[in-house]
Amino acid sequence: MPSQFRKVLCGTPALGCPSFPTARQLASPTAVPYNLPVSCRLVILGSGSRGNSLLVANSRARILIDMGFSQRRLAADLAAQTIDPADITALLVTHTHSDHVADSSLKFCHYNQVPLVSAAENLAVLRRRFRTIFARLDRAGLVRPLSPRGLHIDGIDVRPFELPHDAEGLTLGFHLTLGSGNGAAPLRIAAATDLGHVPPEVCRIFSATDVLVLESNHDPQLLAASGRPASLIDRISGDLGHLSNLQTAAVVAQVLADRPPGSLRHLVLAHLSQECNAPALALAELARVLAPLGSAAPALSVAAQDEHLAVALN
Ligand SMILES: [Zn+2]
Ligand SMILES: [Zn+2]
């Protein structure tokens, strides 16, 4: 376990996150070269309504954002990435929906002595929901309230920002900065997988990233024809639900309009609904936005539920 993370977090007061910023502009949208060590990795281990987990690593830290899988599935995922579960530096939890954190996530943290990091509001929800295993984490000193200011984990700067979504507690997106350590510009990654709409301040954060992992949840027509109860359809398509392919394409168009051509390197579409979406539909919607940009368009990928997606970072 890298020691710096423990030192930083042990010295971080439990702030209770009384005033989580809605969002903040984290950097100016500039196009700069970067040249990361080969040890830097961004892998979407899986994304969708049956579970989400994203791995970010550099030479010292291995961070998971969310773990909505069984322990057996995660163990296989990490083995495929040649990572020992005990070497995970921290599990960052975006929100309390079960496809992002579950009993298995907390058991994983306890068994492997991995710190569990989220907003204090979310930790309170998890403490109530998973009383027994959470008490064990508490006793082991593995529960770490996340300051609205974020934290630094062994060369990775982590800044949370709040997203509009209907989970109990807060829903967070994360803006991560990986230092190159070799004089080149750092790499900036923003991940936002569950949100009903994109407020302007969140759009500005998306405009200040090199890699954007963004939800493209459903096709509105498939959702309407899904046979689901009207209340559920309203919830999913509402302002606190999930982004449709159309909404995501509109946000990406705005993000690209706000920044120099070519400065967004990679766009990953995530959290696709298995029943109400298809990769081809999401890609087609985005292609309408990206095609006019030609070679200045970002690389485009779709994260899958049961396959790893490794994002090329250099
Ligand atoms: Zn959610
Ligand atoms: Zn979700």
Any idea which ligand is nearest the CA of 273? Answer: 2
* Cα 60 to averaged position of ligand 2 atoms, centre (Å): 28
Q: What would the two tokens of residue 81 be?
A: 């990435």
Task: Please write the tens of the pLDDT for every residue from 67-125.
Answer: 999 999 999 999 999 999 999 999 999 999 999 999 999 999 999 999 999 999 999 99
Is the distance from CB of 126 to CB of 102 less than 8 angstroms?
no
Task: Give the per-residue pLDDT at 28.
Answer: 38
* Cα 97 to averaged position of ligand 1 atoms, centre (Å): 5
Higher pLDDT, 259 or 147: 147
Q: What would the two tokens of residue 45 be?
A: 């281990």
Task: Give the per-residue pLDDT at 267.
Answer: 97
* Cα 3 to averaged position of ligand 1 atoms, centre (Å): 32
Give the 3-state DSSP-derived string for 217-235, with helices as H, strands as E and coil as C. CECHHHHHCCCCCHHHHHH
Task: Give the per-residue pLDDT at 33.
Answer: 45
Task: Give the per-residue pLDDT at 183.
Answer: 65
Q: Token match 């954060």: residue?
A: 205
* Cα 33 to averaged position of ligand 1 atoms, centre (Å): 34
> Which residues have beta carbons under 5 A from ligand 1 (an ion)?
97, 194
Kindly give the interhelix angle for 131-139 and 103-112, rounded to the nearest 10 degrees.
20
Of residues 135, 139, 130, 63, the one with CA closest to residue 94: 63
* Cα 241 to averaged position of ligand 1 atoms, centre (Å): 8
Q: Determine, yes or no, domain membership for 25.
A: no
Task: State the burial class of residue 291 (Cβ atoms within 10 Å of its Cβ: 0-12, 13-18, 19+).
Answer: exposed
CB 72: neighbour CB atoms within 10 A? 9
Mean pLDDT of the chain, nearest integer: 88
Task: Please write the tens of the pLDDT for every residue from 244-295.
Answer: 999 999 999 999 998 888 789 999 999 999 999 999 999 999 999 999 999 8
Task: Give the per-residue pLDDT at 49.
Answer: 93
Q: How far apart are CA 52 and CA 93, in angstroms?
A: 10
Q: What band does 10 get if pLDDT is binned at 50, 70 and 90?
A: very low
Q: What band does 133 get if pLDDT is binned at 50, 70 and 90?
A: very high
Q: How far apart are CA 182 and CA 170, in angstroms?
A: 36
Q: Determine, yes or no, domain membership for 165.
A: yes
Task: State the burial class of residue 39 (Cβ atoms within 10 Å of its Cβ: 0-12, 13-18, 19+).
Answer: exposed
Query: Could you list the residue range(s) of the whole structural domain that residue 169 is in?
Result: 40-310
Q: Determine, yes or no, domain membership for 13.
A: no
Q: Determine, yes or no, domain membership for 209.
A: yes
Q: Determine, yes or no, domain membership for 3.
A: no
* Cα 49 to averaged position of ligand 2 atoms, centre (Å): 6
Any idea which ligand is nearest the CA of 50? Answer: 2
Is the distance from CB of 273 to CB of 49 less than 8 angstroms?
yes
Q: Determine, yes or no, domain membership for 191.
A: yes
CB 196: neighbour CB atoms within 10 A? 22
* Cα 191 to averaged position of ligand 1 atoms, centre (Å): 13
Domain count, the chain: 1
Task: Give the per-residue pLDDT at 258.
Answer: 81
Q: Determine, yes or no, domain membership for 242.
A: yes
Is the distance from CB of 266 to CB of 210 less than 8 angstroms?
yes
Task: Give the per-residue pLDDT at 181.
Answer: 63
User: Per residue in 217-241, is it b (16+ CB within 10 Å) or e — as a string?
Assistant: bbbbebbeebeeeeeebeebbeebb
CATH number reported for the structural domain that contains residue 261 in this entry: 3.60.15.10
Any idea which ligand is nearest the CA of 100? Answer: 2
Q: Determine, yes or no, domain membership for 90.
A: yes
